[in-house]
Structure 1
Amino acid sequence: MTDDETSHELTDRKFYKAEQEASFVEAHERTTPQQQDPAYRLAFRDTDFLLREELRPVRFQLELLKPEMLLDEAGIGSTLVIYGSARIPAPEEAEVVRAAASSPEQTAVAERLIAKSKYYEEARELARIAGRSAVVEDGKRHFVICSGGGPSIMEAANRGAEEVGAESIGLNITLRHEHTPNAYVTPHLSFQFHYFALRKMHFLLRARAVAVFPGGFGTFDELFELLTLIQTGKMQPIPIMLFGGDFWRRVVSFEALAEEGVVSAKDLDLFHIVETAAEAWGHITAFYGLDLA
């Protein structure tokens, strides 16, 4: 049946779909003052209206629904989330970082970042391992790599997946200084968020394991929210691997938190400190009882 034909079938839809109604509007010229005024626009086609302050709850719902629906349509059952710094260089970028330093202090920082480029390679390798595993259950793909879609460790994650022919997800956030997804995110799995809260929710909705590499405030925010959700019982335990024992023991004294009594000693069992992709993958497969060697 075409759009302009009348159906007499009992089970056929009797109301036009929104996209059909929108096409009817577009087919007519807007020749009168009433048609040309913004008030006359269909509400769901009126961007100015959707961006009003009062419509924030609607925008929240849209950011919840769009990735959820598209990931479901893509057959993604679960993800392996990789968090980490946007500043750690790939090994091949070490000289560029070194050359950009213009003072002894900056040189010292640059060298510490360059030393952590090994974690770029470990994130890349973990994504390769997960991509090669190609776990499929009930028609859904599992341990699909998911990153923040940006540079550095995030890029390494998406890059590793692409290198073994696997799709990967990127959850970008609109920032004044960072807008472009890295080149390795699968295009139809590349999402952009306005709200940090909704982005963080989507990181964890499908997460069945999380690898956390050295990073700054954003990485800490993501890690500690995850630990809090599991500690408080809002989320069931999943494997959490912190890459780089020297880094994590230097920047956070987890043992001191337990000694001070502000967390329980058993809370320190919520995560594992690891150094290599193989070690991290071993924790994941052991947790789920999978034979994916």
Structure 2
Amino acid sequence: MIRTDKLTARNFPSAQEEVAQQASFDSEFDANPPSAYRLAFTDTDFLVRPELRPVRMQLELLKPELIQQELDIQSTVVIFGSARIADREAAQAAVDTARAANDDQALQRAERRLVMSGYYEEARRFARLITEHTRDHAHPLYVVTGGGPGIMEAGNRGAHEAGGRSIGLNIVLPHEQRPNQYITPELCFRFHYFGLRKMHFLMRSVALAAFPGGYGTLDELFETLTLIQTGKCRKRPILLFGRDFWSRLIDFDLLLDTGMISPGDEQLFHYVETADEAWALLMKEYDIGSPGNHGSP
């Protein structure tokens, strides 16, 4: 009988073994060796040098990619939207506080936030529908968000409430963005580069849902529209929640009338109002049936 373990044994020690060996050696002789003496891949001072930017970008591309491959995550639905939209309970509490304080200006602001909280609840329900209906499929859909509060929290929360995993792609900001509590811990990533974060949003996505938001949401939405319009990525459903908000914010008719976009470009997205409407559109697009249906996705 051939001893395959001997035939396939490593010829060289692994990087992990080398790190462990050096740690033991360093603790014996010098607990804090100078930068020049450290292994290059364990030396943070070296890795953050400006000249190492290409290496850091490659690492930021590879780390989330390899982890998702290992967990067999193939298809995602991206949920974008404002970090400032609260859940209905918190928004109602703010209204009650402002009313009790007899503060008219604060009450007006709180009442607007209460109206907008409807989007939080729809994002939460949409994520729950995605997770509940595809969790037992051969290729389940995973919700991915920017990992922060507001609409992002709602997306991760809905998936969590459905008993599924979801992804958070956090970004380092001057005012630190903390991950929301509903992200699956092993799928809570942190980025330095906005560009690579946005690439990871799209690498596995089969649909994108954009809820009302500000500059960040617009940036992510328009990058996706541009990539689809120019053929740089495959066409997929783009769902704009809240026709009134989006049609007031962006005059797509003006872009058409002035020739800034081509006829048909206004059909790259769909207006939807509810989670049920959005989910029905995805079911039709990808022929999603019962878990026994092993078609796409």
Length-normalised TM-score, structure 2: 0.89
1:198 paired residue number: 196
Contact 2:85 2:116 in 1 (8 A): yes
Point out where structure 2 has 5 or more consecutive residues left out of the alignment: 292-297
Contact 2:142 2:165 in 1 (8 A): yes
1:111 paired residue number: 111
Q: 1:13 to 1:233 in 2, by over 3 A?
A: same
Q: Equivalent residue of 2:153, what SS?
A: helix
Q: Equivalent residue of 2:200, what SS?
A: helix
Identical aligned residues as a percent: 51
Contact 1:174 1:192 in 2 (8 A): yes
1:47 paired residue number: 44
* C-alpha distance in structure 1 between counterparts of 2:243 and 2:184, whole Å: 31
* C-alpha distance in structure 2 between counterparts of 1:105 and 1:217, whole Å: 25
Letter in 1 for 2:193: Y
Q: What is the deviation of 1:95?
A: 3.9
1:18 paired residue number: 15
1:216 paired residue number: 214
* C-alpha distance in structure 1 between counterparts of 2:145 and 2:197, whole Å: 11
1:266 paired residue number: 264
What is the Cα-based RMSD across aligned positions, in Å?
2.4
* C-alpha distance in structure 2 between counterparts of 1:175 and 1:106, whole Å: 28
Q: 1:52 to 1:96 in 2, by over 3 A?
A: farther
2:226 paired residue number: 228
- Number of residue pairs the alignment of both structures matches: 285
Contact 2:98 2:104 in 1 (8 A): no
* C-alpha distance in structure 1 between counterparts of 2:128 and 2:210, whole Å: 16
Contact 2:85 2:113 in 1 (8 A): yes
Q: 1:285 to 1:292 in 2, by over 3 A?
A: farther
Contact 2:135 2:164 in 1 (8 A): no
Instruction: Choose from 141, 148, 151 the match for 1:150.
Output: 148
2:177 paired residue number: 179
Contact 1:285 1:292 in 2 (8 A): no
Instruction: Choose from 236, 239, 249 the match for 1:238.
Output: 236
Point out where structure 1 has 5 or more consecutive residues left out of the alignment: 1-6
* C-alpha distance in structure 2 between counterparts of 1:136 and 1:204, whole Å: 23
Length-normalised TM-score, structure 1: 0.90
Instruction: Choose from 58, 62, 65 the match for 2:59.
Output: 62
Contact 2:166 2:184 in 1 (8 A): yes
* C-alpha distance in structure 2 between counterparts of 1:280 and 1:80, whole Å: 11
Letter in 2 for 1:131: T
Instruction: Choose from 140, 164, 167 the match for 2:165.
Output: 167
Q: Deviations over 1:22-67 (max 9, x none)?
A: 111112145668x832210000010111111111111100110000
| 1:69-80 → structure 2 map (5 Å cutoff) | 69-80=66-77
Contact 2:26 2:33 in 1 (8 A): no
Letter in 1 for 2:202: L
